Amino acid sequence: MAEKPVCIATQVPEDEDTHKEENIRCLTMLDHFGFECLPLQLVNKSIQQGFSFNILCVGETGIGKTTLIDTLFNINFKEHKSSHFHPNVGLKIQTYELQETNIQLKLTVVKTVGYGDQINKEASYQPIVDYLDAQFEAYLQEELKIKRSYVKYHDTRIHVCLYFIAPTGHSLKSLDLLTMKKIDSKVNIVPLIAKADTISKNDLQMFKSKIMSELADNGIQIYQIPEDDEASALVSVSGHLPFAVVGSMEEVKVGKRMVRGRQYPWGVLQVENESHCDFVKLRDLLLCTNMEDLKEQTHTRHYESYRSYRLKKMGFTDVGPDNQPISFQEIYEAKRKEFSEQCQREEEQLKQRFMQRVKEKEAAFKEAEKELQEKFEHLKRIQEEETVKLEEERRQLEEEIIDFYKTKAASESLQAQSGTNIKKDKERKK
């Protein structure tokens, strides 16, 4: 905080001459004191804790997401290029611990992978929506814990979504409109025209107005830059939306200086030259003037609406059916009662269903038993008839055997008789 001379007024008795007031001494303060120091406490605390910032980059493969993030933080994050053949849209999440002088920044960059590469683009926005909700849910679960630890907790809620629009110079694609519509209530969207060096100055202005009117026509809410804020007003950024950005980590010679830019046969595009592109405006917005506002909007607007939706879904409400304020305890008791009644009802239903099934099973068993008994009786009858038949056959066989033996004995005696007669005849002939 800059030191400034202050006038310390001393109380002068009313009856003294007014010319004495001219002799009030002006002292220069050597240090801060009193509640003037309050902001210092916040500054020190913030420096000690460090800052965190979460950026989501949504854009087609190869549109310049990585290069822009590298250029914003002036660090080569060494990213591999993605392929165009992902079957679905995915997200690449990376967290970096950065330091500038004594300021630490925990930066999380989430980038889409394979966005806009599928033939059917209908569900391209879903992984993005799911990711945004999952971060809100994780924060809500931390908030609902009895033992919370916000200091250690890594808040991964996305503070800003940089939406990369292809520099077609024509209009927004239906995928752009669809995705932005789906996420505008969950994140602060800052639309960017990517690779703005590939589009002429006149075309760029027309393209910008076209995009803004298309966003308005489709009711898409982008991040509203607070214009009353002194710093924002100075750069008057809103009028430049969507920012036409160019990314490059290349150092190019311009006159006697080395600047970051892109060298072309016809000249150099300087990334940090405000008459060449809006990169500086974007960097100022994200890092210098509006980071805290982006975080605040994330918490008070987007997270708040997710939280209230989830709590309502869980059955919590601020007012009862009679529009009277209702306490958490009352809701809890009512919910518990409702739950135990529901449990009882379900238990009763289960019991009845069980009894019904037991009855059905018993009836089925009885029916099966009856059928078996009938079958048994039938088989028994058949078997008895078979036995009687067999007995008859056996009797007949025995009779036949007896007859056979009788016949056999008769024939044997006849044979013996004839043998004796032959012998007697022979003896007689002798």
Ligand X SMILES: Nc1nc2c(ncn2[C@@H]2O[C@H](COP(=O)(O)OP(=O)(O)OP(=O)(O)O)[C@@H](O)[C@H]2O)c(=O)[nH]1
Please give the residue ranges that form the binding site for ligand X (CB under 6 A). Answer: 59, 61-67, 81-82, 111, 195, 197-198, 246-247, 262
In the complex with ligand X, which residue's Cβ is closer, 194 or 211? 194
Phi then psi dihedrals of residue 190, to 5 deg? -115, 105
How far, rounded to the nearest angstrom, does the alpha carbon of residue 165 sit from its chain's CA centroid?
23
Distance between CA 303 and CA 111 in Å, rounded? 21
198: burial class by Cβ within 10 Å (0-12, 13-18, 19+)?
middle
Instruction: Describe the crossing of helices 304-314 and 126-144 by its angle, rounded to 10 degrees.
Output: 70
Minimum CB–partner distance for residue 286 and ligand X (Å): 17
- Write out the E strands in 102-155: 103-113
Structure-token match 């020190």, residue found: 44
Query: DSSP 3-state assignment of 280?
Result: helix
Q: Which is nearer to ligand X, 139 or 242 (CB)?
A: 242
* CB nearer to ligand X: pick between 140 and 259: 259
Cis peptide before 321 (omega within 30 of 0): no
Burial label for 266, CB within 10 Å (0-12, 13-18, 19+), is: exposed
- Least CB distance from residue 112 to ligand X, whole Å? 7
Question: Minimum distance between the CB of residue 105 and ligand X, rounded to whole angstroms?
Answer: 21
Minimal distance, residue 119 CB to ligand X, in Å: 18
Closer Cβ to ligand X, 155 or 278, answer by number:
278
Tokens of 227: 């214009």
In the complex, least distance from residue 95 CB atom to ligand X, rounded to whole angstroms: 17
Report how far residue 210's alpha carbon sits from residue 216's, in angstroms, rounded to the nearest whole number.
Answer: 10
Please name every residue paired with 96 in a beta bridge, in sequence order, or none if there are none.
107
DSSP letter string, 195-258: TGGGS-HHHHHHHHHHHHHHHHHTT-------TTSHHHHHHT-GGGPSEE------EEEETTEE
Nearer to ligand X, 64 or 191 (CB): 64
- Nearest approach, Cβ of 135 to ligand X (angstroms)? 21
Cα 80 to Cα 62, 316, 380: the distances in Å are 11, 46, 85
Which residue lies nearer to ligand X by CB, 80 or 152?
Answer: 80
Q: Which is nearer to ligand X, 57 or 189 (CB)?
A: 57
Task: Pick between residue 179 and residue 297 the one whose CB is nearest to ligand X.
Answer: 179
> Minimum CB separation from ligand X for residue 344, in Å?
56
Neighbours of 92 (CB within 10 A): 15
Nearer to ligand X by C-beta: 124 or 232? 124
The nearer residue to ligand X, 94 or 373, going by C-beta atoms, is: 94
How many angstroms separate the CA atoms of 329 and 216, rounded?
44
Instruction: Report the nearest approach of ligand X to the CB of residue 92 (Å).
Output: 8
Q: Residue 384: in which H helix or E strand, if any?
A: helix 328-429
CB of 279 to ligand X, least distance (A): 9
CB of 331 to ligand X, least distance (A): 47
Is the Cβ–Cβ distance between 193 and 207 less than 8 Å? yes
